[in-house]
Structure formats: C-alpha cells, structure tokens
Amino acid sequence: MLSSLAGGIGLFLLGMILMTDGLKALAGDALRRVLGRFTGGPLSAVASGAGVTALVQSSSATTVAVIGFVSAGLLSFTQAVGLVLGANLGTTSTGWLVSLLGLKLNVGALALPLIFAGAVARLLARNPRLASAGLALAGFGLIFVGISTLQTGMVGLAQRIDPAAFPHEGLLARLLLVLIGTAMTVLMQSSSAAVATTLTALHGGTILLEQAAALVIGQNIGTTVTAALAAIGASAPARRTAWAHILFNAVTGAIAFAILPLFIRVVEAFSLKLEPSAGALTLAAFHTCFNLLGVALFLPFLGRFAAAIERWVPERGPALTRYLDASLLQVPPVAVEAARRTLREAAAEILEQTQGLLRGQEADRAALERLEAAERALSETRAFLGRAAPALTSEPDHERCLAALHTLDHLQRLAEAARERGNAEHARRHEDVRAEARDFATLLEGPLAWLRGADAPSPRAVLERHSKGLAERRRAHRPRVLERTAKGALPAEDGAAELEAMRWVDRLAYHAWRAVRHLEDPPPRPTAERAPPEHEAYAEPETHHERP
C-alpha cells in the first residue's frame, strides 16, 4: 500500500517533469514571443500567464520566464505581477486534468502505448521538435500511470483509515490540515503532485471534501516556499517576483481559509451540474475558484501592489550587470534577452564616454571608472552568454545570441579605442580631424537616445552613412597629408599622428555603427562579419591600419 502511494507520486512527478521539459523545448522561441506580445493591460497579462502555464503545466517555468522579461526590459514589473497572478491561476489546470481524465475516464489502456510512442519518438526522431513532442507525450502517459498507481494505494489506505480520524472540525483542525498541505508541497517540490494526491485520496474516500479543501489551500501556499528559497541571493527582479508570488498566495489562502465552510457550500452548489455528489471535480473547481477570487481582489490594485514591492526590494549591486541573473539560465532564450539589455546599457555608457572624448573633454577619474565598469559588464556578459548558448535549441534564439556576441566584440573595440587618449589629443590639434570628431560627437546624440529607450527609429542607417562617408574622406585626406609632409610643410611626426587620429575617428564610427546594427530587434540575419570594401582595414581583429 505505502509502496503504491510512494511509487504513484514518483511516477506522477516524473511524468510532470518530462511533459513540462518536452513542452518547453517544443515551444522554443514561442514562449518568449507569446509572453513578450501580451504587454498591454493587467488583464491581458493575467490571461497570458494563465494560458502559458496551462500549456506547459509549470508555473515555475512561467515565473522564471517572467523574471527574465522584467530583466530584459520587455515587461514592466506591474505587467510581470499580472503574469504571476495568471500563472497561479493556470496551475489549477492540473487539478482539472487529473479529475476529468485521470479519475473519471479509464485511460490506463492508452497510457502505456502513449509512453512507448513518446519514447520511440524521443530516441529515434532526427527533428528536435518531434523529439521534444515525444518527450512530452511520454510524460503525459506517465502521469496517468502514476495516477492509476496512486488510486491502487488509496483504495488500500481507505480500507484502513476512517476519514473521521483526520481533524476536520474547528479552526485549529482546519489550520493543521493547511499546514499538512503546505508540508506536502514542500516535500514533493510540486503543488501539482500534492493536489493530485489529494484528489486521488478524495476520490477513493480516504478523506472528506472539507479536509481536502483545507489541504489544497495549504498546497497552494506551499508553492511560495520554493519561490522564497530561489530568491535568496538572487537579483532584484527575481526577489520582487518571489515577493509578489508569496504575498498573492498567502493573502488568497488566508481569505479562502477564513470563509472555507461558506466557500465549499457555494462551490458545491455550482458543481452539482458537473457531478451528482461532491468529489474530485468539486475540489478542482474549489481550487480554481479561490485563485480566481484572489485575482479579482488584486487586479484593481495591481499598480499600487507592484510599486509597493519595488520600494521594499530596491536595486542593489552594479547597475550595468543587474540583469545577469543566473536563474535565467533555466530559460536560455530569456537569458539571451537579459544579455542583450545589458549590452544596450553598456553601449550607451561607452558611447557617452566616446562622445565626451571627441568633444575634447578631459577624462576625469569618474569618467574612467564608468568606462571600466562598462568593460567589466562586457566581460560578465560574455561569460553569461557562454553559459546560455549551449542550451539554445531554435534557430531564432541562436541568431539572437550570435548578434549579441557580435555586439560584444564591437563594443569591446570601442572601449579600447576610448582609452586611446593620445589619438584624442592629436585629433584636437589638427583642424580636419577635429571637425570630423566634432561632427561624429553631435551625430551620437540620436544613437544615445535610442539606446536609452527613446521611442525613435533605429539610428543604424544614419550611422552607416556617416561611417562610410568618413571612410571616403579618410582616404582622400591621407594623400594630402603625405604630400604636405613630403614638401616639408608638415613635420613627419605630426603627419603620422594626424593620419592615426583620422583612422581613430573612423574606427570609432565603424564600430558604433556595427554595434547598433546588431542591437536592432529583430537582429540581422547571420552573415560573415566582414566590413565593406571601404572598411577592409578594420575587418579582421587587431587590424586597424591601411593596407599597403
């Protein structure tokens, strides 16, 4: 009996893990696109959070993705809270799946063939999407094998235990059941498995509806323990999301507990149309209804709720790397988005320092420290992308990662050029170079505003035209300088310094253009990273000089 119970729970958990992993891999870039698309009002955020969670059967997958979207700047925290509320609602779909199919219909005869078909597809399919679908199918079948095993164990348990032996009357008795439900979720590390066990126990007559309802409240609260543990030492967006999850579940559970007897009677009255006597379907309806009640209570005050959490959990640590949260690596496409946002802010910092240099501003200690912070952010972003890249499965995700690496390379070269104070000094001494530097510094106003989030078209085309034009002017300028040097009108050392300063300004413009190009959304299609003919001097690493 106990072995059947333990084995049933284990099979159910394994089935949930396989199905969730398969569906997440099958969805690929769709999870990022679906969540990113619904960035309107709170209601649409709740609906999309519920829908995605019901699809992948994992509120934790949705929550981790939400953290990444907040980190990447694609969602405001208010919208993220709406998605978290929706994820709590969507996770109640597991109860309907178990009560409608696992307990009401005899799917045992189909479960084993489903597992076989899914395993064969996972092992033999060459198409990654088909293999992921096979994994999800095998997990789906395993869930029902676990439920069947649980039912067998519950039948034996029901014969030995009288439901009346469990506490069910009085406030303290219900509170004890809530605590037991919380402990079940913590021990199983899955509210879905805990709810499935409770539904099976209720269906088998081991416990009564009132007892099962109190257990489900506790199981709903128990999911917050995992969120709280995951938030320890995490980034500010992760901690804020965890607090939103904890407060919503705790308040919702407290309200459901306070009106439990009345709530059960109301749900029973409506569920009579689903089943003749209160049972598993009634409990699934209860689970959904009290989460719906919580959403209805929080939705009108979502903005204030989110603002309060942001005040309680302020940002800490280096500003440029605040998005590089290791927990995002669980959803690699979201990790890439966080890296791209970091690169966008680092680009703005480097270009601002470059602009000051071109305008002849002296580099003080604060400016040098900001440039060093940007270079450290580039280094950390490179390591972060290196950890995310091996787990990317779809071509669009791979292209976004590749574009981020191209951006990183160009920004690194920009930062190195911004340290060349000697070239900046020579640019100020020579009139032609000084004019080019001043024009480029003025042009950078547009890219800087765009990088900082201004609602404006990409400055890529403007930068490209300027960079190509500057390359032409540099080539025309070179023979003039050499001729003046040959005639003795210009000292040889000054002529060489002027040419190098002109190349320096050209190099800055080129790498600024290429960095912005790869930061566009969507990024450009992958091509060989090679400069056009007029920029051949800068096509290869460490090759910034004219060909002979």
Q: Which of 21-25, 122-126, 401-405 is predicted least confidently?
A: 21-25
Q: Residue 395 CB: number of other CB atoms within 10 A?
A: 11
| Residue carrying the six token digits 């800087």 | 448
Instruction: Report the topology of domain 334-538.
Output: Methane Monooxygenase Hydroxylase; Chain G, domain 1 (1.20.58)
pLDDT on residue 124: 82
Contact present, 68 and 336 (Cβ < 8 Å): no
| Residue carrying the six token digits 């078909």 | 117
Three-state SS for 190?
A: coil
pLDDT on residue 321: 85
Contact present, 34 and 44 (Cβ < 8 Å): no
Q: Which of 27-31, 130-134, 136-140, 519-523 is predicted least confidently?
A: 27-31
CA 97, 98, 99: angle at the middle one, nearest 5?
A: 95
H or E segment at 334?
helix 332-358
Three-state SS for 524?
A: coil
Identify which of 85-94, 213-222, 501-510 has the greatest average pLDDT: 501-510
Give the tens place of pLDDT for each residue, 287-318: 888 899 999 999 998 889 999 998 888 877 67
Q: Residue 509 CB: number of other CB atoms within 10 A?
A: 28
Q: pLDDT at residue 3 above 90?
A: no
pTM: 0.67
pLDDT on residue 436: 94
**526 secondary structure, DSSP code:** P
> Which tokens sit at 33?
């696109």
Q: pLDDT at residue 155 above 70?
A: no
Ramachandran assignment for 521, one of left (phi > 0), alpha (psi -120 to 50 degrees), beta (any other): beta
Return the CA Rg of the chain: 30
pLDDT on residue 20: 61
pLDDT on residue 533: 39
Mean pLDDT of 189-198: 77
Residue ranges of domains in the chain: 2-312, 334-538
CA 434, 440, 445: angle at the middle one, nearest 5?
A: 135
d(CA 81, CA 335) in angstroms, rounded, equals 19
Q: Which of 21-35, 149-163, 259-273 is predicted least confidently?
A: 149-163
Q: pLDDT at residue 353 above 80?
A: yes
Three-state SS for 493?
A: helix
